[in-house]
Amino acid sequence: MRIAVISDIHANLEAFEQVLIDIGKSDIDTTVCLGDNIGYGPDPEPVVSLIRDRDIPSVMGNHELAVIDQKFLTWFNPLARRSLLKTIDMLSEETIRFIYGLKPFMIYDEYRFVHGFPPDSATTYLFQVAEDELLHTFNQMKERICFLGHTHRLEIIGFNGRSITRSRLTQNVINLTVPTVTSLTPGVSDSQETVIITPNMLSWIQGKTASKSNSYRMILLRL
């Protein structure tokens, strides 16, 4: 199965449309979104409408969270808060109902999708997480692979049962089935490494390796 993973569109309709064109040429089976479809950009309503029209499942990002609970606006810096207030005024009632229906995480084809940090945080940044908490999270993960948005950084973090490795997703091939000598997370085969992947705008999944394309900062992930 080929899965396109998109994240942090932030109401940038023009970029989103270009990515969808590229997805359409790529023989993918489904697309999953990691949230923050709104905020900052000028076209929140058309972006969400396009996500709904294309039936793209999405998790809730921190910007969507501020729409359903405006007390959460205080979490944002002043510029982001002002942008969100304008965004909310631009959203239709139908789109707001759609946002209310978003879930904090999604399990699809044995992969976990969450905006901020597993298992279900829309607000925690990966770079805020201490090493011991990251180790604990890996040990609790039932899925071998988890996709995160939020950070706007391209990175892959692996755990082989003993130690954590970090690397940027660059234009090369990364094997995501590294053999290990110790058992891994509950429900995960001990022949595979557990990884957290943070795509930016678009990722594809198929097979068992990963590589990056220059266009739209895309990543081709073969798992």
Long-range contacts of 165-169 (CB under 8 A, 24+ apart): 169/197, 169/199, 169/210, 169/212, 169/219
pLDDT, residue 171, reads 58
pLDDT, residue 200, reads 55
State how many domains the chain has. Answer: 1
Ramachandran quadrant class, 40 (left: phi over 0; alpha: psi -120 to 50; beta: rest): left
pLDDT, residue 175, reads 63
pLDDT, residue 12, reads 93
CB 177 within 8 A of CB 135: no
Beta strand extents in 30-176 (DSSP E only): 30-33, 105-108, 111-114, 145-148, 155-159, 164-167, 174-175
pLDDT, residue 110, reads 83
Q: What is the mean pLDDT of each successive set of 10 residues along the chain, which is 223 residues long?
A: 87 92 87 94 97 97 95 93 96 98 93 94 93 92 90 84 81 54 28 60 41 40 45
pLDDT, residue 64, reads 97
Domain range enclosing 106: 3-221
CB-based contacts of 155: which residues, under 8 Å, 6+ apart?
Answer: 126, 166, 167, 168, 169, 197, 198
Q: What distance in Å separates the CA atoms of residue 146 and residue 125, rounded to the nearest whole number?
A: 14
pLDDT, residue 5, reads 87
pLDDT, residue 215, reads 35
pLDDT, residue 170, reads 67
Residue 43 sits in a domain whose CATH number is: 3.60.21.10
* Tens digit of each residue's pLDDT (9 = 90 or more) over 128-148: 999 999 999 999 988 888 999
Predicted TM-score (pTM) of this structure: 0.82
